Amino acid sequence: MTVYTDLDADERRTLLDALHAASVAISAASPGRKEETASEGFSAAAYILDSRAAQVANPLVSSIILFLDQAAHAEGRFPDYQQLVVAPDAGRRSLEQLRAAAALVDAQATAEEAAGYKRWLLEIATVTANAGKEDQGFLGRGGVYVNDAERAALAQVAEALGIAG
C-alpha cells in the first residue's frame, strides 16, 4: 500500500503537478475565452476533490485527495489555471509531467494503485474536455462539448499515461 506521505517531496510534487497537467493538456489544446478556460479549471478541481468517495479503494489517490482537501482549507490558494494554460509549451510540458508521474507510480506504487492513479488522471482530463461547449458561434449557438483538438489531446494524455485507447 502506497500513500502520498510515503513519497519524498520531489515525488509528491510530481504527482500533484500531474493533476494540473491532466487538465491543462486539454485546455491548452483548444484555448477558448477566459471564462471557458476558468470553467474547465473549476470543473477539474471540483472533480478532483469530489472524487474521494469513488477513490477510497485506492490508498494513493485517496491520500492525495485528502492532502488537497486539507491544503484547500488551510491555504486556500492554488496556481492560476489561466496562467498555466497560456504558458509557452503548456501542452507539451503537461504531457511530459504526465509521463513522469506515470513512471513514478509504476515504480513506487502497487500495480493496482498505479493503474487507478493513471485512470484518475485520464478522468480529470475527460471532465475538463466536457466542461463546456467549444467552437460556439454567434451568441453561443452551436458548438460541441468535445471538439477534435480536445479528442486528440485526450488521446495524447492516455498515451502519455500508458493507457490503451
Q: For residue 110, what pLDDT is reported? A: 95
pLDDT bin (cut points 50, 70, 90) of residue 74 is confident
* Position 89 confidence tier, pLDDT thresholds 50, 70, 90: very high
Dist CA 41 CA 82 (whole Å)? 8
Cell digits for 14? 510530481
pLDDT value for 77? 64
- What are the pLDDT digits (tens) for 96-153? 999 999 999 999 999 999 999 999 999 999 999 998 766 555 555 656 678 899 999 9
What residue ranges do the domains of the chain occupy? 4-161
Q: Under 8 Å CB-to-CB from 16, ≥6 apart: which residues?
A: 64, 68
Q: Evaluate if residue 75 carries a pLDDT over 90.
A: no
Look at 8-17, 30-39, 47-56, 68-77 and tell me which has the smallest mean pLDDT: 68-77
